[in-house]
Amino acid sequence: MPRGARDPLPSGDEARLLTRYEDVRRALSDPRLSREGATGSDAARITDDDSDIFNSPMACTLNAVGHERWRRMLSRWFTAKRVQALRPAMERTADRLLDEMPDHGHPADLVSHLAFPLPVFVICAMLGVPEADRDSFKGWSDTFPSMAKYSRDEVTTAHREFEEYMAALVADKRAAVSAGKAAEGEEDLLSLLITATDAEGRPLSGEALTATGQALLLAGHETTAGFITVMAAHLLSDRRRRQRLLDDRSLARQAVEEMLRFDPSGGFGMIRYVHEDVELGGTVAPRGTTVVCSMSAANRDEDAFDRAAELDVTRSPNPHLAFGAGPHSCLGQALARTEMQAVLDVLLRRLPTLELAVNGAELRQVDGLLTSPPAALPVRW
Ligand code: HEM
């Protein structure tokens, strides 16, 4: 593909497609391009549909807070150290989910019984959602991205119910904090954010806290579930790879990074709007251009990665772009990495009792592992 090829969008408009590692990294980090800019401008539109997530009330609330301010207030709760403290609970949850799997019949589906619920439970634990409400969270999260599985009305209803739930949870937490009750070991993100202030001493409003809870589930669930699925598929479908990791468990971190790099199902890519003429992919992109940054393609660029088409669990360094780059790079990347490492550890520990119930090639062809995470991963033990 030529650098900066034209890319037709679902709306019929055209965008500039970037596929080279260096072009994608630079575009995502360049302040002359930003995520904002579609509304009211001449920029190409992604779809004809106004209901996309970046124009939702949740996104508008967060935009009003100011991206930099919001990100600075949140980022102190997403450090590697804080996230590492959640790891034992992640491993316990993964173990419990695998223990419960036989109750669901034989063979069991690793997606619905591990990859899908685990990241929801982790986000719930982080936000301080009571145990009893976690299945509702799972249900809402299942509905959000499912254009094919649910009707537009069902998706809208799920968004409304979820927003109402989050607003009530924030109000409960605020009451607990005011009454001094949150002190009993309640270290959840919402309780902490209620009392947090920015550099000017301003706290986040109730609406902003509600929108934050929504944004974290939307940004952090499907992505992590998809990558856990792909990782488990890569692990269970190749005996030599599995043996390599069993022989040297210290490779787990590198293996996770490589699965993140290697996955070709990064979707459409990240959208950016050009606000000032800028050279991109060898030509000038005039102001108003819509750019699609394909991280999946960039992660397979031979100029950036030796043997880029090969999954090498020992690859190091591995500066992949699965979490994006620049000011919007993934806020939850330490959480996602730790979750994947915890699951990999648990899977390796339990491997003697776990194997794919379909062969790897079949899985790839039937479920499209090459283009998107498999919808199901049948396993037996
Ligand atoms: C393997 C799993 C994940 C992947 C591959 C992933 C990927 C990404 C990417 C590529 C972006 C950049 C979006 C852009 O440039 O427009 C992003 C942003 C973001 N991610 Fe993740 N993500 C993952 C998990 C998570 C988790 C677990 C959370 C939190 C619970 C999270 C929270 C966020 C947030 C809040 C943003 C927006 C950051 C900003 O705009 O400043 N992500 N993620």
Residue nearest to atom 39 of ligand 1 (CA): 328
Q: Which pLDDT value is given to residue 368?
A: 39
- Please give, one letter per residue, the 3-state secondary structure of 242-268: HHHHHHCHHHHHHHHHHHHHHCCCCCC
| The pLDDT value given to residue 53 | 61
What domains are there in the chain, each with its CATH number?
5-380 (1.10.630.10)
pLDDT of residue 315: 98
Q: Kindly list the protein residues whose Cβ atom lies closer than 6 A to any atom of ligand 1.
A: 35, 71, 123, 215-216, 219-220, 223-224, 227, 270, 322-324, 328-332, 335-336
Pocket test for ligand 1, best of 26, 29, 333, 337 (most atoms within 8 A of CB): 333
Identify the segments of the chain with pLDDT beneath 70.
1-4, 7-13, 37-55, 145-148, 182-186, 264-267, 360-372
Residue pair 238/360 in contact by the 8 Å Cβ criterion: yes
pLDDT tens track for 136-169: 988 888 887 665 678 888 888 999 999 999 999 9
Closest approach atom of ligand 1 to CA 336:
27
- At 105 the pLDDT is 86
Contacts of 213 (CB under 8 A, 6+ apart): 127, 166, 169, 170, 190
| 237, 360 contact by CB (below 8 A) | yes
Q: Is 364 exposed, middle or buried (0-12, 13-18, 19+ CB in 10 A)?
A: middle
Half-sphere exposure of 155 (CA within 13 A, CB side): 13
Scan for tokens 């596929």, then name that residue: 19
- Token pair, residue 212, equals 């934050």
**What spacing in Å lies between the alpha carbon of 106 and ligand 1's midpoint?**
34
Q: Which of 256, 268, 255 is nearest to 224 (CA)?
A: 256
Residue 151 alpha carbon to ligand 1 centre in Å: 26
- The secondary element (H helix, E strand) that includes residue 113 is none
* Single pTM value for the model: 0.92
The pLDDT assigned to 360 comes to: 67
Query: Phi then psi for 162, rounded to 5 degrees?
Result: -65, -40
- Per-residue pLDDT of 316-326, as tens digits, reads 999 999 999 99
